[in-house]
Amino acid sequence: MKIDEKYSVRSDTYNWVITEKYLGKDGDGNEKHHTRDHFFPNLSRCVNWLINNNCKQAASLQEIKEELEKAEAICKEVLHKVQRF
């Protein structure tokens, strides 16, 4: 499930996985898009990491509030999908 342009979340048998997209450089020093997976044993830790990581980058209380609202929406969407199964 896509969260935003930078993050997506999925689950497998054992983990919740956040895939992070970021701009880095290749071996020749050219800009290149990369991905990094972050693995969590449960949804709670997954969401906590996402909130903490994004709130650290916030420049204002308004941005923190927006991040928390986004996290709430993600949780509701995930729970809705889980309840369908």
pLDDT in tens, 26-74: 888 889 999 999 999 998 898 889 888 878 888 899 988 988 888 788 7
Question: How does residue 18 score in pLDDT terms, banded at 50, 70 and 90?
Answer: very high
Residue 19 lies in a domain: yes
Q: At what angle do helices 61-83 and 43-56 cross, to 10 degrees?
A: 160
Range of the structural domain that residue 68 is part of: 7-83
The count of domains in the chain is 1
Does residue 1 lie within any of the structural domains?
no
> Which residues are CB-neighbours of 24 under 8 A, at least 6 positions away?
31, 32, 33, 34
With respect to residue 12, please indicate whether it lies within any of the assigned structural domains: yes
A 10 A CB-CB count for 54 gives 20
In a domain, 2, yes or no: no
pLDDT at residue number 81:
67
